[in-house]
Amino acid sequence: MSKDDSENGNKSRAIRARQRAIGRELRRMYDGVVSEPVPDELLDLLRRMDEADLETKKKTS
Amino acid sequence: MTRADVHMGESREATAAPDFRSDLLSLIPFLRAFARSLTGNYESADDLVQETLVKAWQSRDTFELGTNLKAWLFTILRNQFYSDRRRAWRQAPWDQDAAERMPGTSQDQNWAADLSDTARALRLLPDEQREALILVGAGGFSYMDAAAIVKCNVGTVKSRVARARKALIAILERQDALPSRQRPDQGEAAREIMAQLDALAPSEPPNGTGKKRNKTRTE
């Protein structure tokens, strides 16, 4: 019986450890993308929207 | 009276845009990460981020200052993703092929296409479980913020995250039981994780990976 208990304990410890490993791996993937440089197209897009905005503001005010 | 008038006043509106813009700028990397996790693909992820930025810019007057801009942007991105996909399905199936034809380019290393078993396993989860797990487990959102982003209640998010974790473990265990495929060669971290996972697997070690195992278990 105590053998079962310790086996169950081992099993749930193993599961928890697996979950932690998976958590680390998920964060590694996510953080990997976060740390990539932002592509120029996206920066350009922001700039263009900003400029377009200023233009319309000038016209309307 | 527009929302911008209320919180900024007409005279300060000109300075509101640069703030919003720089906030948006600083959050782009996170949008890219979330988009990558949804699409599993480098290019369509950045297309999605573009659409999100445009939408966010157009509707920035509806953003309530002081609330979570990141969560607001993630909500827009997610809505966009599902509506794009619905449209793609209605039109033609080729979009899906396009998503799958992408081999592991170097830029894909960090997500889904080729590198880690976890990344591959993630693709096999139902969307609702995957997104919940990413938001909470990788993106660092609270259950409450995640619930707001995916539009369900906190309890549902919790159970989706739990089910996602369980399912991932089951998938990875199944993969471990398969004959060896090629293991990721690049990335110390990935190797480390795999070593840990292998070491933890109670039975059915993957064969042919060349890893040392202690055969201390009774035969």
Residue B52 sits in a domain whose CATH number is: 1.10.1740.10
Q: Residue B194: its pLDDT value, please?
A: 55
Q: Do residue B52 and residue B133 come from a single domain? A: no
Q: Do residue B75 and residue B4 come from a single domain? A: yes
Q: Do B110 and A23 touch (CB under 8 A)?
A: no
Q: Do A49 and B197 touch (CB under 8 A)?
A: no
Instruction: Tell whether B48 is covered by a domain.
Output: yes
Q: Do residue B66 and residue B134 come from a single domain? A: no
Instruction: Tell whether B140 is covered by a domain.
Output: yes
**Number of structural domains, chain B?**
2
Residues in chain B closer than 8 A to A43 (CB atoms):
25
More confident residue, B95 or B118: B118
Q: Do A10 and B57 touch (CB under 8 A)?
A: no
User: How many A×B Cβ pairs under 8 Å?
Assistant: 108
Instruction: Tell whether B177 is covered by a domain.
Output: yes
Q: Do residue B83 and residue B134 come from a single domain? A: no
Residues in chain B closer than 8 A to A55 (CB atoms):
none
Which of B42, B59, B118, B191 best probes binding to A when mutated, by most A CB atoms within 10 angstroms?
A: B118
3-state helix/strand/coil string of chain B? CCHHHHHHCHHHHHHHHHHHHHHHHHHHHHHHHHHHHHHCCHHHHHHHHHHHHHHHHHCHHHCCCCCCHHHHHHHHHHHHHHHHHHHHHHHCCHHHHHHHHCCCCHHHCCCCCCCCHHHHHHHCCCHHHHHHHHHHHHCCCCHHHHHHHHCCCHHHHHHHHHHHHHHHHHHHHHHHHCCCCCCCCCCHHHHHHHHHHHHHCCCCCCCCCCCCCCCCCCC
Percent of chain B with pLDDT over 90: 45
More confident residue, B196 or A3: A3
Q: Do residue B1 and residue B87 come from a single domain? A: yes
More confident residue, B108 or A1: A1
Q: Residue B35: its pLDDT value, please?
A: 96
Q: Is A7's pLDDT higher than 60?
A: yes
Q: Is A45's pLDDT higher than 90?
A: yes
Q: Do B134 and A15 touch (CB under 8 A)?
A: no
Percent of chain B with pLDDT over 70: 61
CA closest to B31 among chain A residues? A34
For B73, phi then psi, to 5°, come to: -65, -40
Q: Is B153's pLDDT higher than 50?
A: yes
Residues in chain A closer than 8 A to B17 (CB atoms):
50, 53-54
| CATH number for the domain that contains residue B193 | 1.10.10.10
The region of weakest confidence among B20-29, B89-98, B160-169 is B89-98
pLDDT digits (tens, 9 = 90+) for B161-207: 999 999 999 998 887 766 554 444 445 555 555 555 555 555 444 44
Q: Residue B179: its pLDDT value, please?
A: 54
Among B45, B75, B91, identify where a domain stops: B91
Instruction: Tell whether B102 is covered by a domain.
Output: no
Q: pLDDT grade, residue A58 (50/70/90)?
A: confident
Q: Residue A54: its pLDDT value, please?
A: 80
Kindly report the pTM of this predicted structure.
0.71
Tally of residues, chain B: 219
Instruction: Tell whether B63 is covered by a domain.
Output: yes
B33 touches chain A (CB under 8 A): yes
Q: Is B109's pLDDT higher than 50?
A: no
Q: Do residue B84 and residue B164 come from a single domain? A: no
Instruction: Tell whether B54 is covered by a domain.
Output: yes
Q: Residue B204: its pLDDT value, please?
A: 44
**Number of structural domains, chain A?**
1
**Mean per-residue pLDDT for B5-22?**
55
Q: Residue B143: its pLDDT value, please?
A: 97
Q: Chain-centre distance of CA B27, in angstroms?
A: 15
Q: Is B10's pLDDT higher than 60?
A: no
Sign of the Cα torsion A24, A27, A32, A35 reads negative
pLDDT digits (tens, 9 = 90+) for B26-74: 999 999 999 999 998 888 999 999 999 999 999 999 998 888 999 999 9
The residue range of the domain holding B153 is: 124-202
Q: Residue B132: its pLDDT value, please?
A: 98
Q: Do residue B84 and residue B26 come from a single domain? A: yes
Question: CB of A14 within 8 A of CB of B110?
Answer: no
Q: Do A54 and B17 touch (CB under 8 A)?
A: yes
Percent of chain A with pLDDT over 70: 93
Q: Do B172 and A18 touch (CB under 8 A)?
A: yes
Instruction: Select the residue of B33, B134, B196 nearest A34 (Cβ to Cβ).
Output: B33
Instruction: Tell whether B170 is covered by a domain.
Output: yes
The residue range of the domain holding A49 is: 2-60
B132 touches chain A (CB under 8 A): no
Among B37, B67, B91, identify where a domain stops: B91
The Cα B104–Cα B136 span in angstroms is 26
